[in-house]
Amino acid sequence: MMQGLTVHMSVKLSVESAISVLTRSYAWLTRWRCLWRFFLRKSTKMLHVYGDNLTEADWFINLSPLLSGATFVRIGPRGSNPPAIEELVKYDRPDIVLTVDEQPVLVVERTREVPSGHNVGQRMARAVRAAELGVPFIKFLPFDAKKHGAHAGICHLNARVLEAFERMSILHNTPVVAVNWECDANGELVCNGREDDLIRQVVHEHVQLGFSKHTPLLDAQARANVVERARRIVAYPRYAGMPGSVCKFSTASWLSSRAGVLSALEMNHLQATLGLRNETWVYTIGMRPASCKRQDPYTGAQFLYDYIACRNGPLPEDKVANLVLHFPHLDRRTWYARNPNNPLTKSSNWYLTANALSFADGVDLLRS
C-alpha cells in the first residue's frame, strides 16, 4: 500500500516537474521569439536613393547588388522633404543621397565636367554640407578630359579642389573624396562601363560594411587624392598658390584701405572683431550691377579658399585668418536687393562662411 502511494506521488511530482519545465521553456521560447522578431525588424533596412534624376539613381543603384532593393525618391522643393534631407540640401541639392531608415549615409556627385577655370567652385557647397553633417561625400568626375566647342582642349582638375577636400576630411572627420572618371588617350570620357570599376568597389564596400563612415577603400581614396594633388602641383605650378582674385593682407592694413567708406564707429567695431585675427584673405569678385544676381561659381569658390587658407575647425567661426568677399563695383543697396539672405534660396549661400562682405560704399560684418 505504502509502496503504491509512493509510486503515485512520485509520478505526480514528475508530471508537475515536467509541466513546470515545459512552462518555463515555453516562456523562454516566447521571449526569444519576440526578441528574434524584433531583431529581424531592426535588421531590415529601408534604403532610399534621393535625387533629381532617375537615370542617375539607377546608375548608382547598379553600383552594388546590395542596393537592389533601394527605392528612388525625388528631392522636393526646400521645406517639403524629410528633416534629414532638408538639412542636407540646405546649401544645394546633391545628385545622389543614399539613406538608411531615412538617415543619410552617403552623398555622391556625378559630373562629366572637369572643375577648372571659371567653374572650379561649382558643387563645392554640396560637399561642405555633407561633411558638416558627417556624411561621406564622393565626387565622381574626370580629372583630365577634353572640352568641346570653340575653345576645345584638355581641361585639368584644379589641385585646389583636392586640397579643399583634404581639409574638409580632416576638420570634419568625414571622407570627402574625388574618384576619377577614366578618359581615353584623346581625353574623351570612357563610357563602356569600365569607368565605374573603382567607384563601384568603393560604394559596394561602404554598403557591405554597414555604411561605416570610414572604410578601407574610402580612406585609401583620400590618401590617393593627396598624392594626386602633389603630382598636379608639380605638373601645373599655377595651382600651388591662390589665384589672382584672392590676396592676403594684414588685417590692420586692409581695414586702413577701407577707412574712406567707414565711419569711426564702424571702423572701431571692425577693428574689435576682424582685428582679432592678424591676417585677412580678400576674395575680389568683379560682378557688375546688371549681372550680380547669381551664386555659381563664386559661392562655391569661397568655400574652397576658406578651407585652404582660413579654417582650422568645423565651424565657420573657426578660422586662423579672416575671409572677406569684396565687391568693388557694387553698393550695399544693389547687393541686398539682388542677393537677400533668404534660407529658401541659394542666395543665402553668400552668407555661410565669410567674415565680412565689402562693397564700394562700406563693409558689413557677418561673423567675428
Same domain, 297 and 224: no
Q: Is residue 29 part of a domain?
A: no
- Host H or E run for residue 282: strand 279-284
Q: Which of 239, 268, 294 is the last residue of a domain?
A: 239
Same domain, 358 and 275: yes
Same domain, 250 and 234: no
Q: Which amino acid is at 205?
A: E
Same domain, 101 and 221: yes
Same domain, 134 and 269: no
Q: Which of 183, 210, 239 is the last residue of a domain?
A: 239
Same domain, 53 and 105: yes
The CATH code of the domain that includes 189 is 3.40.50
pTM: 0.85
Q: Is residue 357 part of a domain?
A: yes
Cα–Cα–Cα angle for 121, 92, 78, nearest 5°? 165
Same domain, 225 and 265: no
Residues whose CB falls within 8 Å of the CB of residue 359, separated by 6 or more in sequence, listed in order: 327, 330, 331, 332, 335
Specify the pLDDT at position 14. 53
Specify the pLDDT at position 95. 97
Q: Which of 239, 264, 292 is the last residue of a domain?
A: 239
Query: What single string gives the DSSP state of each residue in 41-70?
Result: HHHS--EEEEES-HHHHHHHHTT-GGGTT-
Same domain, 84 and 217: yes
Same domain, 197 and 57: yes
Q: Is residue 221 part of a domain?
A: yes
Question: CA–CA separation, 198 vs 168, rounded Å?
Answer: 22
Cα–Cα–Cα angle for 33, 36, 40, nearest 5°? 140
Same domain, 126 and 152: yes
Per residue in 145-175, pLDDT (tens digit) is 988 876 678 999 999 999 999 999 999 999 9
Q: Is residue 235 part of a domain?
A: yes
Q: Is residue 7 part of a domain?
A: no
Same domain, 299 and 348: yes
Range of the domain at 126: 47-239
Specify the pLDDT at position 16. 53
One digit per residue, the tens of pLDDT, for the chain of length 368 reads: 445 544 444 544 454 554 454 445 444 444 444 333 333 333 457 999 999 999 999 999 999 999 999 999 999 988 899 999 999 999 999 999 999 999 999 999 999 988 766 677 778 999 999 999 999 999 999 999 988 876 678 999 999 999 999 999 999 999 999 999 999 999 999 999 999 999 999 999 999 999 999 999 999 999 999 999 999 999 999 999 999 999 999 999 999 999 999 999 999 999 999 999 999 999 999 999 999 998 888 999 999 999 999 999 999 999 999 999 999 999 999 999 999 999 888 999 999 999 999 999 999 999 99
Specify the pLDDT at position 44. 59
Q: Is residue 9 part of a domain?
A: no
Q: Is residue 166 part of a domain?
A: yes
Same domain, 292 and 161: no
How many separate domains does the chain show? Answer: 2
Sign of CA dihedral 309, 313, 318, 320: negative
**Residue length of the chain:** 368
Specify the pLDDT at position 8. 46
Q: Is residue 278 part of a domain?
A: yes
